[in-house]
Structure 1
Amino acid sequence: MKKVRSALGEHSVGCRKEGWSLSKRLKLIYNPEAGAGAFKRSLDEAIAILQSGQWQVLTYRTEGIPGETSKEAEKALQDGCSAVVAVGGDGTLHQVMNGLMRLADRGETPPALGIIPAGTANDLATTLRIPRNVEACCRIIVEGHTREIDVGQIGDRHFLNVASGGLMTDVSHKVNQSLKNNIGKLAYYLKALEQLPEFRPFSLTIETTSGETVYSGETLLYLILNGTGAGSFPVLSPHACLDDGILDLLVFRSCRIHDFISLFVRVLQGEHLNSPLVTYHQASAYIIRGPESLETDMDGEVGPPLPWKVQVRPSALSLFVPKVSAHSST
């Protein structure tokens, strides 16, 4: 088996079809339940487009077994792949990315990561202007424009877009898959409204690693953002940038229900950073202390209990992006 060198590194070549070679190997990891299972009907089309770009495609169908999706992504280098494509929502992307980051933790260069958004929420894809159209996503990978982006880290786990705790952060864990497939993002909002009357504020303290206290008080919700949006709110942190070596902190203070509803409207209008009920800060690392029992979230998956030490891993992963996003400031 010979070796060839491309823009994405050295790859094993072992597949020939009708006289021409597929010179790069890619692992396509797809969630068959995401988006009402729509991607399954486009699988053959996706493979055909990727093969037209000289990619040999290995496929893996996720089975919903905890940890297996990450393990399959981690095996990508062993399987001779220089790219891994995640098909699903933010949760699938989170699992694939954590598998790739295990390679980085061992000092290996992870394969480039491609995204085909097929879930209910696709916050990172929205930030990167990656469309939901399967053909267009595959063309982005074939075109080969990449961007190195930062990754957040908490203990031995990583997040691409957001880590959060408090009100609404467990919504994606508790909404029924069939309900998400039927009514989409509205399922999240209905679940959040259901929580609001019974939610109790919690005490939270956040410091930088230099010891500066940036927040202390009774809290409804906090978010550590790498991208600009989360929870289908595209501009929660309009100053965030995926490759600036910085994580953006947003904290929503405890308030009365009618004040929170007014604040919710300001969030929709992109005017919440001026509210006295919101604390905003930028830093490369934070130490977060609060109740160990608090529900937390990382990219739509259940997060670890507090306390947290959160830090940024600059330029940790290479992502396939549209040409317009390759040098974007978001």
Structure 2
Amino acid sequence: MFGRTLIIANPVAGKGEGQEYAQALRTVLEETYQNECTIKVTEGDDDAFEWSKQAIDEGFESVLCLGGDGTVSQTVAGLLQNKERPRFAFIPLGTVNDLARALGYSMNPQKAIERMKDVEIDTLDIGQINDQYFINVVAVGPIPESVMQTDSDDKNRLGAFAYVIDGFTAFFSEKGYDLHIVDADGVETDIVSNLLLIGLTNSIGGIEIMNPEAKYNDGLMYLAAIRGHNPMDTIRGVLEGGIFETDKERLLLMESSQFQITTQESQDVPTNVDGDPGPALPLDLQVLHQALEIYVPRNRRRILG
């Protein structure tokens, strides 16, 4: 099924065990599918991008990566540089692993590797924001600004709690942005918000809080923005019932295949894209519907309806 396979490993991911997990993955694939696997270990920031970009020309039929959301994003971006693309999968070794949760991958790396013995092929939407890609979420506001400063050592030691620590103070700040949003149908909306999220899946920050009907290949993005009322009531409602069950007076909720987001703010309004700094506003976002073929566990929790 996998054919000739390229395995890209981030050696510092998975608490420094990325290379060892890559060796385990190669053993599982070669014993199960009798295929040829090549392991490449990243050293520079652009290695995953360059190697996945070159994979189709080098005769690879599948590209698998091991790492966090950053490594996965880089690998996906490289694959998308060509019209013909190898099939894709990954072993989640990061802090939050939102896409992995949506796909039904195990958060335990060894279990995720073992489950590659029984997979099926599905399709995956990818998001585009201006001239770059994203696999899960774009965020605007003081929380994502704060989270961008989260130290890598803190993420390894504290996991997702590191983001909570850095984002807590920002959530209760008075800072907010005047935003103008236009969807694919031309519907225009104005809002002042200190947190706006646009997700491709149901999981954001490791918590399944977006639309429970969201699917990873439905061609839609899901937008949720806090309107700026009592922040404690808003976050309590989100955690208890999910964003789409929270009082609509506190939240702006939209879904579309495209969004344009602009602002009249005099200062730059930064973004966070899959956990890394993204472009400042204005933003042009669209879904690349079913852009990749991806291997998913055959016995995963069904989310495709």
User: What's the TM-score once normalised by structure 1's chain length?
Assistant: 0.84
Q: 2 CA distance for matches of 1:179 and 1:76?
A: 33
Check 1:32–1:173 CA distance in 2 against 1; reply closer, same or farther (3 A cut): farther
- Comparing 285-294 with 198-207, which one deviates more in the overlay? 285-294
Does the 8 A contact of 2:7 with 2:22 survive in 1?
A: no
Match status 1:122 vs 2:97: yes
Cα-to-partner distance string for 1:248-278 (whole Å, 9 max, x where unaligned) = 11111123xxx21221121111243332111
Match status 1:45 vs 2:24: yes
Count, aligned residues: 300
Pairing partner for 2:268 from 274, 283, 293: 293
Q: 2 CA distance for matches of 1:288 and 1:87?
A: 33
Does the 8 A contact of 1:114 with 1:141 survive in 2?
A: no
Match status 1:308 vs 2:287: no
Q: 2 CA distance for matches of 1:320 and 1:83?
A: 9
Q: Any gaps of 5 or more consecutive residues in structure 2?
A: none
Does the 8 A contact of 1:241 with 1:329 survive in 2?
A: yes
Pairing partner for 2:35 from 52, 55, 58: 55
Match status 1:323 vs 2:302: no
Q: Which residue of 2 aligns with 1:284?
A: 257
User: 1:235 corresponds to which letter in structure 2?
Assistant: I
Q: 2 CA distance for matches of 1:124 and 1:144?
A: 17
Does the 8 A contact of 1:46 with 1:134 survive in 2?
A: no
Does the 8 A contact of 1:167 with 1:199 survive in 2?
A: no
Cα-to-partner distance string for 1:185-237 (whole Å, 9 max, x where unaligned) = 11110000133354511100101233211x31211111111100111222223
Q: Any gaps of 5 or more consecutive residues in structure 1?
A: 1-6, 9-23
- Larger Rg over CA atoms: 1
Q: 2 CA distance for matches of 1:72 and 1:199?
A: 44
Match status 1:94 vs 2:73: yes
Q: Which residue of 1 aligns with 2:10?
A: 31
Query: What displacement does 1:139 show?
Result: 3.7
User: What's the TM-score once normalised by structure 2's chain length?
Assistant: 0.91
| Identical-residue share of aligned pairs (%) | 26
User: 1:54 corresponds to which letter in structure 2?
Assistant: Q
SS in 1 for 2:116: helix
Match status 1:175 vs 2:155: no
Check 1:327–1:48 CA distance in 2 against 1; reply closer, same or farther (3 A cut): same
